Amino acid sequence: MKTLKLRIKDKHVNQLNKIAGSVNYAWNYVNALSFEHLKRTDKFFSGYELNEYIKGSGEYLGLHSQSLQAINETHAKSRKQFKKAKLNWRTNRPDAKRKSLGWIPFKKSAIKHIATRQSGGLCLKSTIQLSLSKGQKLIIDVFDSYNLSLYQINTLEIVQDSRNRWYACITVKEYPKQPCGTDSVGIDLGLTESATTSNGDKLTIKQTQKWANTLAIAQRANNKKRVKAIHAKIKNTRQDLIHKFTTQLVKDNALIVVGDVKSRSFTNKKTKLAKSTYDAGWFEFKRQLEYKCKHAGCQFEIVNESYTTQTCSHCRKISDSSPKGRASLGIRGWICAKCGRWHNRDINAAKNILAVGLDRLAVGIPFREGGSQINIDDCQG
């Protein structure tokens, strides 16, 4: 999570002052109530307990119920943090000796990003709709130097500074939504490399292999804590590698084509391959690509990958020299007997997968995954 601080336009000042007054009112009420409760019972209220007391008052105060909850939570938290029985009284009365700076909290369900637009100048402007009580809305315009439309908003606090300027402090997910790239790519999923693209980029995972010895030692020593830690390390590293690779793919491409991995029936045979199939992370790879593509507006296609290893990606013929069947798994490179081109086995397959995807899009043939007996979803172990 990170916080973006955006300046709110001055035209909203009066309205914000008024709402901030309601927040202060609620704050002072819970502050007094907490103190009274402490005196009587010797116990502090939690934010949750306070909610019970203030329930339903949003309508009178003109505040959203979740804003009230946020006030209670902040009160309970600050009281704990400052180790105080009672916190400062809040007021925004202009003639008050100690004026509190305005503060209005909102939670996710009360926040809606309406629009971001370019309107003269260099800065973007965004409009945000915030829910108050009973269908009442507060609509604010902000100067937007971040482009809010790229982010997922989590919470929003409206705050005032000592110069009477108002800001929206918005917590967002760390990474903005990236629009996808413009290229096309095919991907061959494998074991030697978990994934190879038609451009020759490779994702190598092999974490189980890397940690095998360390893990064996820990297991022999019966060190359960260590074994657990190594498993977590393997899993996290695998996850991280896949994340980096898939993010880059979506960043570069507008179309991503992946094979349906139906020939991977060896996963259900209890061979050594089963383990490395899991280690290759195909399921996770596909899952991440799918949601990242959706998020960025990139097209994601799964195609039938039959013959993509055997076919020459240059002349599109299957020659005698091409790798065939399980026995050929060890063949990493080969020369096409028809056209004489040398191929890296995986890159050639990835190029063919891309070609199948492009052909299908050109003809518009719908493809349903699941025509195969084993599909990649079974590979998660």
Binding segment (CB under 5 A) for Zn ion, from list 19-27, 104-112, 181-189, 309-317: 309-317
Residue matched to tokens 């005698």: 320
Contact pick of 30, 203, 312, 347 for Zn ion (by CB under 5 A): 312
Interaction between residue 321 and Zn ion (CB under 5 A): no
Binding segment (CB under 5 A) for Zn ion, from list 78-86, 271-279, 310-318, 362-370: 310-318
- Select 197 or 313, whichever has its Cβ closest to Zn ion: 313
Which DSSP state fits 149? G
Contact pick of 85, 232, 331, 339 for Zn ion (by CB under 5 A): 339
- Select 66 or 311, whichever has its Cβ closest to Zn ion: 311
Interaction between residue 113 and Zn ion (CB under 5 A): no
Closest CB 322 distance from Zn ion, rounded Å: 9
Interaction between residue 338 and Zn ion (CB under 5 A): yes
Stated length of the chain: 381
Binding segment (CB under 5 A) for Zn ion, from list 153-161, 253-261, 276-284, 313-321: 313-321
Query: Could you tell me how far CA 2 lies from the centroid of its own chain?
Result: 13
Interaction between residue 7 and Zn ion (CB under 5 A): no
**Between 263 and 302, how does the x/- string for binding to Zn ion read (CB under 5 A)?**
----------------------------------------
What CA–CA distance (Å, rounded) separates 148 from 6? 10
Q: Which of 133, 16, 29, 43 is nearest to 72 (CA)?
A: 29
Contact in structure between 179 and 297 (CB atoms under 8 Å): yes
Contact in structure between 153 and 111 (CB atoms under 8 Å): yes
Interaction between residue 337 and Zn ion (CB under 5 A): no
Interaction between residue 315 and Zn ion (CB under 5 A): yes
- Select 9 or 341, whichever has its Cβ closest to Zn ion: 341
Write phi, then psi, for 133 (nearest 5 degrees): -90, 155
- Select 254 or 318, whichever has its Cβ closest to Zn ion: 318
The alpha-carbon radius of gyration of the chain (Å, integer) is 29
- Select 9 or 316, whichever has its Cβ closest to Zn ion: 316
What CA–CA distance (Å, rounded) separates 95 from 23? 18
Closest CB 338 distance from Zn ion, rounded Å: 5
Residue matched to tokens 């604010």: 140
What CA–CA distance (Å, rounded) separates 23 from 35? 18
Contact pick of 336, 347, 349, 350 for Zn ion (by CB under 5 A): 336
Q: Which residues pair with 303 in a beta bridge?
A: 259
Closest CB 355 distance from Zn ion, rounded Å: 13
3-state secondary structure of 295: helix
Tokens at 220, concatenated = 């022999």
Binding segment (CB under 5 A) for Zn ion, from list 115-123, 222-230, 308-316, 356-364: 308-316
Contact in structure between 114 and 129 (CB atoms under 8 Å): yes
Q: How many residues lie near Zn ion (CB under 5 A)?
A: 6
Interaction between residue 314 and Zn ion (CB under 5 A): yes
Under 8 Å CB-to-CB from 231, ≥6 apart: which residues? Answer: 215
Q: Point out which residues bind Zn ion (CB under 5 A).
A: 312, 314-315, 336, 338-339
